[in-house]
Structure 1
């Protein structure tokens, strides 16, 4: 059974938990695993997720703030510090990155890999060894969605394996993170 975090006063009723990213992102996975009683609500940016929490549109937000490979996850950490919200709890979660592309694409044909800057920073060594140019996107799963829509066999995404399922991509290589102990600290916030 996954670890579950952060009891809030409204947990006895149907809750909503904000996260940054598209369905299939690491933050989406974290909400599903850690707050299964809440409806995950996606926002395009950390700012939008925090604003939704402050406006009362959601009961909480689950946001990544630190990673063992790259350090602080920005701009999330700075936004949280300035927002004046309460940190209810925190949890470290393992992060496993996969390189995914449209069905039929081959690893040797991949020229670029798109993802959130934090995810790209966690696999720079592997991408360099493969001769793949990193391309920044707003989100891991959003990058997977864009790669699926483009259907270009030279483009790949760096994202969680769930994103490959959601966007019907083929995984070309699992565990491309540079560190075997790649973990991210998520904080649960309430207004």
Structure 2
């Protein structure tokens, strides 16, 4: 069964004010979505596929998807999904991506054995994590990683996420700006089922 089956569909203008994004509250996509314009509601989905499906069936009016990063290039599989979706790009925004290493309160950098995050975020700080002898652990989302680390309250586990996620999930930032390139940016596209 699809994640969207049985979801009540807003009608009319209610849909136009809903923008979907991949990830949890505090993720880069969430920040980019809310920075782009004041939506009635920013709606989180676990995968890029779920976001695009929600847009295609009319549960949301727009979707914001990352497609390119200045450090790693194309954001796969998101870029391919956008290209094959039949949906329309109506706007785009480049956003600075600053990654922070965060852990439960009381943890020290020397305690950290693993860092959890979305694979794209982990690729953007490979050099830093290697230098700190921290093993990367892939999860579905940056902010989702922060939430999981907070819930586990294990001082050997950290998350790589936006600094805002530390506030949302009550974590301590052990190190800011851990991305390997200082000018790290991601291009997000705003999609609609209809052309602008």
TM-score where L is the length of structure 1: 0.92
Match of 1:20 in 2: 22
4+ residue runs of structure 1 moved beyond 3 angstroms? 10-14
Tell whether the 8 Å contact from 1:11 to 1:37 is kept in structure 2 after alignment: no
Gaps in structure 2 of 5+ consecutive residues: 1-11
- Pairwise CA distance, 1:37: 3.1
1:184 is aligned, of 183, 186, 193, to 186
Q: What does the per-residue CA deviation read over 1:30-78, in whole Å, with 9 as the maximum and x for residues that have no partner?
A: 1111121341000000000000000100000001001000111111111
1:138 is aligned, of 137, 140, 148, to 140
2:79 is aligned, of 65, 77, 80, to 77
SS at match of 1:152: coil
Tell whether the 8 Å contact from 1:114 to 1:156 is kept in structure 2 after alignment: yes
Tell whether the 8 Å contact from 1:25 to 1:163 is kept in structure 2 after alignment: yes
Call closer, same or farther: CA 1:11–1:173 in 2, change over 3 Å.
Answer: farther
Gaps in structure 1 of 5+ consecutive residues: 1-9
Alignment of 1:20-99 (within 5 A): 20-99=22-101
- Report the aligned-residue RMSD: 1.5
